[in-house]
Copies of this chain bind each other. A is one copy, B any other.
Amino acid sequence: MPYAILVSDPLASTLVLLAMLWLAAKLGGEAAVRLKLPAVAGQILVGVLLVSLPSLFSGLPKLPGFLKSPEFLKFMDFAHNPQANVLAYIGIVLLMFMVGLESSVPQMMKVGWASLRVAVVGVIGPMALGLMGAYFLLPKGTPYAVDLFIGACLCATSIGISASVLRERNASDSQEGRVVIGAAVIDDVLGLLVLVAVSGLAEASSGGGPLPWGSLGRTLGLAFLFLALALTVGRWLSPRIFGWASRFRGEEILLPFALAFAFVLAYMGSLVGLATIVGAYAAGLILEHHHVETLQVKERRSLEEMVQPVVAIFAPLFFVLTGASIDPSVLLHPNTLLMAGVLTVVGIIGKYISGYVAGGGTSVPIIGWGMVPRGEVGLIFVSVGRTININGEPLLSPEVQAGVLGAILLTTILGPIGLSWVLGKPKGQNKQV
């Protein structure tokens, strides 16, 4: 076994796998950025490409032995590598914690009715249109839960993408910018509640019976109970926990305590059936700057500055692995393209109309396009949908998955393009250039 080293020391081969995934993620992200697209789209596409390399190689007439070896094929099947998966999972949990850290409970309260109206219309619009689209696209007899889940996948706005585009174009403190960011915050919570409701619904309707309102109510009740307890007891506990931690004399106290706080909430959320990212996001919302002020002064760095490098290295693994879980041959099927196209149009229209309800003289197209990017939250919906079975079949078939992922990819790409366009004359280059 000349290539045994790739698999014989699982830890050394994990290191070289991570190096490969980082380089691939950054190259894919770079290609996207050069094309004025968000980096996350490039990371997903590079995952699709990487995982299909072995089958592309197998078509070559003269193949070096290495590229045919079982060690290489196992190495390239990284979407099923448990080490890579746990790191990607920590990446997405911490990304949602950081998104939560970027806003606060009072900020959510203050953004007011405009953001709430935009968020509600921005959830109902794509869900209703997506449900209708899915109903017409999918064969008769498909369980309601599948249509509903497809609609749900289209309803969450990516806080990260909207905020970063607005920041790139110096528009994050405009009135429209504030409404979009506020709505994206509310939208995210609404979206996560829809996720809980719809996945509970899908699991409960496995027998093909009528809509299980009792189960839906219980799921929503538990989710609200968890969030209510997190936002009350958690907010009461957070300053006390970090106040106690600030009396520690050791070094590097803040980050381990903050991550432990996020992970315990994520775990407790999972006990009531919520996805761990919901708890991590709630932990971020609860945790206020002033709770950790003493520790931040002592350690001469803000919590965000410490969480960000951890997210920067692990979250791209999540996006590459997400891409690697798409079967590229399915993506090329005409039916998938049709579905992706229809869902993209429906997803953009459903979000765009939310711009009309903001009021206060704000620009409809800026708010409308600002709500379009789906990004990581839509991907999380799809990955949750992949784990749910209905009548012994996965809720989302590979074709439907590919179609929804295609629509998420397209809205993620078209959102920032549309937003840049309606924000007017481009100022030459991106900030990070």
Contact = CB atoms under 8 A, between A and B. Distances in A.
Given A250-B33, A263-B19, A301-B305, A316 B26 contact: no
A67 interface: no
Contact of A310 (B93, B266, B309): B309
Interface string A1-35: 00001000101111110111011011001101110
A30 B248 contact: yes
B316 A256 contact: yes
Interface stretch (A81-89, A169-177, A188-196, A390-398): A81-89
> Interface size bucket, A side?
35 or more
Interface in A30-64: 30, 32-34, 39
A264 interface: yes
Contacts of A248: 26, 30, 33
A11 B89 contact: yes
B309 A249 contact: no
Given A16-B267, A250-B30, A309-B310, A259 B22 contact: yes
A225 interface: no
A46 B312 CA distance: 30
Nearest to A9: B270
A276 interface: yes
Contacts of A76: none
A308 to B, nearest CB: 8
Contacts of A251: 39, 432
A233 interface: no
Nearest to A261: B19
B266 A26 contact: no
B276 A15 contact: yes
B5 A271 contact: yes
Interface in A316-350: 316
- Specify how many copies of this chain sit in the oligomer: 2
B276 A26 contact: no
Report which residue of A255, A260, A270, A430 has the largest number of chain B beta carbons within 10 angstroms of its beta carbon: A260
Contacts of A20: 260
Contact of A249 (B30, B267, B316): B30
A34 to B, nearest CB: 6
A423 interface: no
A89 B10 CA distance: 11
A258 B310 CA distance: 13
A178 interface: no
Given A86-B86, A248-B26, A16 B264 contact: yes
B264 A19 contact: yes
Interface string A124-150: 000000000000000000000000000
A236 interface: no
A298 interface: yes
Interface in A329-379: none
A256 B15 contact: no
B313 A263 contact: no
A109 interface: no
A147 B90 CA distance: 42
Contacts of A19: 259-261, 263-264, 267
Given A87-B87, A251-B432, 11 more contacts: A12-B270, A15-B267, A15-B276, A23-B257, A26-B248, A29-B250, A33-B249, A82-B82, A255-B309, A256-B312, A305-B305
- Nearest 4 Cβ contacts at the A-B interface: A19-B260, A22-B256, A15-B263, A16-B267
14 contacts: A5-B270, A12-B276, A14-B86, A15-B93, A25-B256, A26-B257, A30-B248, A33-B250, A86-B87, A249-B432, A250-B432, A255-B313, A256-B312, A256-B313
